[in-house]
Amino acid sequence: MRGDGSEVVRVGIVQMRMAETREANLATADRLVGDAASQGARVVVLPELFADRYFPQRMDPARYALAEPVPGALTRAVGGIARKHGVALVGGVYERALEGRLFNTAVAFDAAGEVLATYRKTHIPQGPGYEEKYYFAPGDSGWTVTAMSGVRTGLAVCWDQWFPEVGRALALSGAQLVVFPTAIGNEPNAPTFSSHEAWRTACRAQAIFNQVFVAAVNRTGTEELVTFYGGSFVADPWGRVLIEAGADDEGAFVTDCDLGLVREARELFQLYRDRRPETYGSIAAMRPDPGTGPTSSAAPLPG
């Protein structure tokens, strides 16, 4: 199925190789957002924490100095890029909300460069090469959906994409497009393993299960312990990949998202009609009650 073309929004994703300095990364973002705009993009998404190299690879208290308030110098710079190129833009910042309250925050800007919404990353990973719990508190902003140049956009960040509840919560809040600014690559403690195909499948599943467009936007290149595998893409509500970057590509990639396809998918597969939220109580419990659900006969868990 395809939409009828009456509600098309052109979406751009930017895959970057990050340099040592914030100034160089802002210049690259400016250039590539301009490339996306020249291809007609109305909404553009940058990778997670795009203005810096991926600093959470090691626990180093000196790196706390990268955090700044929102609004602050970085959000003003990103807003300036959005205004310069006349596009709605999603960019990420390391947010210093209060001393000791630091967040991994996605910021949505309108085409005039004004902040539309912010979202603080909810799910925070911890492992070799991804020491994020040292740097970020779990987000407290709730699920965020905002109108960006004609498309209701749900904001999420990286590790959130592995949790099926995220896309559903955003879709139930009205999202037609869910964006996942991302920084993901190899696992330093498992050098022969690649999560790339699992990551790609997980993001496509978010699109299918929630009948939304998904933009998963990664970085590329090697930084300290991690080689990032790129592969940024946009998928439609059936999980079909509309455009995709290679592992080493740096550039702007643009595709049309026909929002009519969201409606068509939901009319053909009535997932929202057939949901049974009254049976899902165990999903929200840290230790599910085995008696939850209409037909459960499970024995209690030990302990």
Q: Are 232 and 200 in contact (CB under 8 A)?
A: no
As given in the structure block, the two tokens for residue 215 are 């933009």
Total number of residues shown for the chain: 303
Q: Is the CB of residue 15 less than 8 Å from the CB of residue 232?
A: yes
Rounded Cα distance between 182 and 50, Å, is 9
Within 10 angstroms of residue 175's Cβ, the number of other Cβ atoms is: 27
Residues marked active site are found at: 48, 121, 158
Q: Where are the beta strands (DSSP E) in 47-195?
A: 88-98, 101-109, 115-120, 144-148, 151-155, 177-181
The pair of three-digit structure tokens given for residue 286, joined into one six-digit string: 């840290």
| Closest alpha carbon to 66 in 15, 25, 126 | 25
What is the DSSP pairing of strand 241-244 with strand 233-235?
antiparallel
C-alpha distances in Å from residue 240, one per residue of 102, 122, 157, 233, 250: 36, 27, 21, 10, 22
Neighbours of 136 (CB within 10 A): 22
Tokens of residue 265, six digits: 């998918």
